[in-house]
Structure 1
């Protein structure tokens, strides 16, 4: 085609004055000739173009290599084929395509539009060319779903046409935010598509769901009914708030509770809230029923319904509000709010209820007082012996126990209780009644010397206290008589060596008969039956007491940890203790304290482990402040090695902190302690609804109760790094749990400028709130340090 154009150009331009310029005026011919002679071929071509001599103009434009103008000239000259060829050489495929279309060559036109990226025009031309599927696919890609549907229809693909109808409806539904009234056209398309799907067995559910979504609920439910799917039909009626129809269907299916719920909904629509509340209650929807009765200002009925719903706290509050303290007390008791229950039972003199609630909240002092009032003195003594020494009423409990023992004429035991209550205090107006009662016990036992010694302390504070003068006079008289050798009044006694020792002996509940100090423990052991000989106490904490002990069997020194009474008395904790300790015992690594043995000795649960003669990192930080960075790196490297070993075996420590990592005195070997045991304390304390402790080192996910993995240990390790680098933990006051979850830690370098930027980066990355943003493993931390050092 290009050769043809060139030939034309040669024909017009090759013979000088013999140009075929018929139809031009003589002036125009002269102008063209002049321009050519002057070498202005472009000007000559433009002059010919303006004179509508398009073929001649095209030849000149081709000569001067202006193909775009040549193409335009050929098009105007009616030479479509030549124009198309020229448009292609210029890359103007859109115009080439349009010319093909004018020639009726729609497929060629469409292909040119594809090349040009004019997708919409290509689809239109494919449609004109009868290639409807290809047109439909392009329209679909362009999002022109209406035209895509039409093309799929023309292609005979009904399924794809319906799919387009569905998409049109879904798009309109989203834009209208579910407001069906404004998308009637889309609904009509959806219904048409649904009808098609219903006719196709495999697409039945899709069709019904589409009907329901488009608001054709009756049709959707009827379709399910016709298909025998009555439950789904009822649900459609219910969702469409066609409650009567739904209720009837549920009744037909023998589902009275669901039917009652629908009747209740219908009653609410009609404004009959009382009937609705009753129906909801009969349907088992107690919470909704109770709320309706609350709206109706019928708190008594609401309370009864809350009770049936097992929402005991709400029921209790309402019963209390209307003055039904008996039911309120029982409801509070059921909700485990024993304190309020006990107070309400006391208010109505329900002693049995008050006793039960007091026992529920483990208020043993209150239990003891109630049992005394009921005359159940032996039970009262047992209850009072269980009052925690930390309880501010512990002294009163000891005194009351002494009073009971006095009544039972157990004078020696009463004396011990009174002196335990007195303790190491100096005599004063608030405690001389204890001395008076203790002296009275000694007098009743015939120990007048001890009585005189005690009663004289009372007189110093109050010379007129009760019958102190008479008792003092009697004691003095008896002592004087004894001193002159009267054998009649002399009687043996079995006193303890001192009042203070008596207090120690009495104050401990029977369940706690494990001496606290190591010398006491040794004194109670019979060496012939046990493997471990206790040498000295070295530490105590939430888990229990740690002793330095000798393994008699293997003749080696071990650290011997005995489970605390709180954990020992909890079966769940004991089970966890044994399982976690055995799992930890499988960890054999130079940076982890080796567990040698786990078991029971003399009724005590114990762990025997490697004894480390050294100090914890916490002790070092407390004594000397921030560590040199070389030591920080040493601790970090070896901590990571030990933790990585454990993590590789599926063991997460859960309680990494400076107090759980030791450095040996001799070679500074690093040892991680207490693997897995933090979970024992946590589980037990959760059972007792007590806080685990101040969470200086806890990860956000640990505070929130989420699932833990090795990255929780990495967060705690980050806290420990911060502490070693700065001398303090990142958060040490205020709401620590909130800070760990939400507050960014301060810059370690702002607290200690000698901290390197690299170490600060390690700390910050380890302390990220989201586990995914931290180091993925301890190995990654070590590699990070190596990379920065390299």
Structure 2
């Protein structure tokens, strides 16, 4: 009697199939080849953290002090790293972009490229980590504010201040470009200025290495509309001259208080970079030196062949202009100075200081010669009086008090006399 061959039925259509069949010959449904039951391992899925609360500890070591900023990629926090006992900045990526491989790639790219650059004008990057399904980067904490916030708070900067910041950005870019790294998203929001006026370039999230394959990504428009170069808008190849164009826009904004191209939509603004000629910065602010205006417009030339070809060339021209400025002002003070150095440089200080010192000596002499015997006079104890403005210029009225304070401070440092503060006498 012939042996009956083994068969098995399709679980879908119940058709009979040979025992060793993997798929049903009638409906194509996969048929299990074994009676073994495989139990899949279930991983615990943690929800990505969307934001951190003040006082909480993240990743077991970062104590959150405050939120510093937030943007399309995520939020930035000031935290205290308990492992190294130091304040750092922590950038936490948004949960919505966690599943976007391109965003994660940009996140990792930021750390990789920025860590190549070691320069005082580039923010240092420390560590890329993952915690509870959230990616994050730790970086140098810069006490201060971004340049955009400073411009909103203070308005246009003087030529000296703008050059002082632009030169530092040039030096940071020179280091990056020397390593074949192009920032591609240079803007005031990505330039941090500390309390001493030192600038640092940040956010290399869309930076690219010119030495990497596929650097150009032609056909892809990426950047921030107000600061994009024409070649970026058109999706063409970019190199260091694109960063120079963006820096030109930033300098334009620093000295005028506004960007050269504005519009209601990002696309409208972006297209103006390719079609419209920017207004001369001197038409907006006539205090801008003519040669600085020329430098800014050269950076912003639509034809990259006619811009500065290397950031070192721009830095050299800024150095020359800076030497021609009579007095460099303090950079980004917390509050406006009592008196403008430009005004002081135009004012003949001898008209104040010489009469002041003569008057102080005369007061001392008269007190000694004509004071009653019962009056005790210490010839080494003096007071500097305030001065009346006799120039006819009302703008100089406050300087009579200021000059008295200066003289008082200067004499106090000599240890020759004891100076009574003017405020005690008045």
TM-score bucket (shorter structure): 0.5 to 0.7
Q: 1:546 aligns with which of 73, 76, 96?
A: 76
Q: 1:747 aligns with which of 256, 263, 280?
A: 280
Q: CA separation of 1:581/1:723 partners in 2, compared to 1, >3 Å: closer, same or farther?
A: same
* 3-state SS, counterpart of residue 518 of structure 1: coil
Relative to the length of structure 2, the TM-score reads 0.59
- CA distance in structure 1 between the partners assigned to 2:317 and 2:144 by the alignment: 30
Q: Which has the higher contact order (CA 8 A, sep 6+)?
A: 2
Q: CA separation of 1:513/1:563 partners in 2, compared to 1, >3 Å: closer, same or farther?
A: closer
Q: CA separation of 1:690/1:717 partners in 2, compared to 1, >3 Å: closer, same or farther?
A: closer
Question: Who is 1:558 aligned against?
Answer: 88
Q: Confirm or deny that 1:514 pairs with 2:49.
A: yes
4+ long deviations beyond 3 Å? 510-513, 676-679, 689-694, 786-790
Matches within 5 A, 1:32-51: none
Matches within 5 A, 1:319-718: 514-519=49-54, 530-665=60-195, 667-677=196-206, 695-718=225-248
Q: CA separation of 1:512/1:626 partners in 2, compared to 1, >3 Å: closer, same or farther?
A: farther
Relative to the length of structure 1, the TM-score reads 0.32
Residue deviations 1:198-217, cap 9 Å, x none?
A: xxxxxxxxxxxxxxxxxxxx
Contact 1:518 1:547 in 2 (8 A): no
Shift of 1:690: 11
- CA distance in structure 1 between the partners assigned to 2:69 and 2:318 by the alignment: 35
Q: CA separation of 1:691/1:567 partners in 2, compared to 1, >3 Å: closer, same or farther?
A: farther
Q: CA separation of 1:693/1:778 partners in 2, compared to 1, >3 Å: closer, same or farther?
A: closer
- CA distance in structure 2 between the partners assigned to 1:709 and 1:738 by the alignment: 20
- CA distance in structure 1 between the partners assigned to 2:107 and 2:320 by the alignment: 40
- CA distance in structure 1 between the partners assigned to 2:89 and 2:247 by the alignment: 24
Contact 2:174 2:311 in 1 (8 A): yes
Residue deviations 1:399-453, cap 9 Å, x none?
A: xxxxxxxxxxxxxxxxxxxxxxxxxxxxxxxxxxxxxxxxxxxxxxxxxxxxxxx
Residue deviations 1:458-508, cap 9 Å, x none?
A: xxxxxxxxxxxxxxxxxxxxxxxxxxxxxxxxxxxxxxxxxxxxxxxxxxx
Shift of 1:663: 1.1
Shift of 1:512: 6.5
* 3-state SS, counterpart of residue 622 of structure 1: helix
Structure with greater strand percent: 2
Structure 2: stretches of 5+ with no match in the other structure: 1-44, 209-218, 325-426
Contact 2:221 2:235 in 1 (8 A): no
Q: Confirm or deny that 1:780 pairs with 2:323.
A: no
Q: Confirm or deny that 1:728 pairs with 2:258.
A: yes
Shift of 1:784: 1.8
- CA distance in structure 2 between the partners assigned to 1:757 and 1:512 by the alignment: 57
- CA distance in structure 1 between the partners assigned to 2:308 and 2:221 by the alignment: 29
Q: CA separation of 1:750/1:515 partners in 2, compared to 1, >3 Å: closer, same or farther?
A: same
- CA distance in structure 1 between the partners assigned to 2:193 and 2:89 by the alignment: 15
Contact 2:185 2:223 in 1 (8 A): no
Shift of 1:608: 0.5
Matches within 5 A, 1:116-195: none
Question: Who is 1:172 aligned against?
Answer: none
Question: How many residues in Structure 1 have an aligned counterpart in Structure 2?
Answer: 268
- CA distance in structure 1 between the partners assigned to 2:178 and 2:48 by the alignment: 41
- CA distance in structure 1 between the partners assigned to 2:188 and 2:307 by the alignment: 20
Shift of 1:787: 4.2
Shift of 1:603: 2.1
Shift of 1:677: 3.7
Shift of 1:573: 2.3
- CA distance in structure 2 between the partners assigned to 1:589 and 1:778 by the alignment: 15
- CA distance in structure 2 between the partners assigned to 1:535 and 1:690 by the alignment: 38
Contact 1:652 1:676 in 2 (8 A): no
- CA distance in structure 1 between the partners assigned to 2:275 and 2:235 by the alignment: 15
Contact 1:532 1:551 in 2 (8 A): yes
Structure with greater helix percent: 1
Structure 1: stretches of 5+ with no match in the other structure: 1-509, 680-688
Residue deviations 1:75-130, cap 9 Å, x none?
A: xxxxxxxxxxxxxxxxxxxxxxxxxxxxxxxxxxxxxxxxxxxxxxxxxxxxxxxx
Contact 1:640 1:782 in 2 (8 A): yes
Larger deviation: 596-605 or 623-632?
A: 596-605
Q: CA separation of 1:702/1:512 partners in 2, compared to 1, >3 Å: closer, same or farther?
A: farther
- CA distance in structure 2 between the partners assigned to 1:655 and 1:691 by the alignment: 12
Contact 2:121 2:200 in 1 (8 A): yes
Shift of 1:538: 1.3
* 3-state SS, counterpart of residue 534 of structure 1: strand
Q: Confirm or deny that 1:766 pairs with 2:295.
A: no
Shift of 1:636: 1.1
Larger radius of gyration: 1
- CA distance in structure 2 between the partners assigned to 1:669 and 1:677 by the alignment: 24
Shift of 1:511: 8.9
Contact 2:52 2:64 in 1 (8 A): no
Residue deviations 1:240-273, cap 9 Å, x none?
A: xxxxxxxxxxxxxxxxxxxxxxxxxxxxxxxxxx
Contact 2:50 2:95 in 1 (8 A): no
Shift of 1:694: 5.6
Question: Who is 1:39 aligned against?
Answer: none
Shift of 1:692: 6.0
Q: CA separation of 1:715/1:512 partners in 2, compared to 1, >3 Å: closer, same or farther?
A: farther
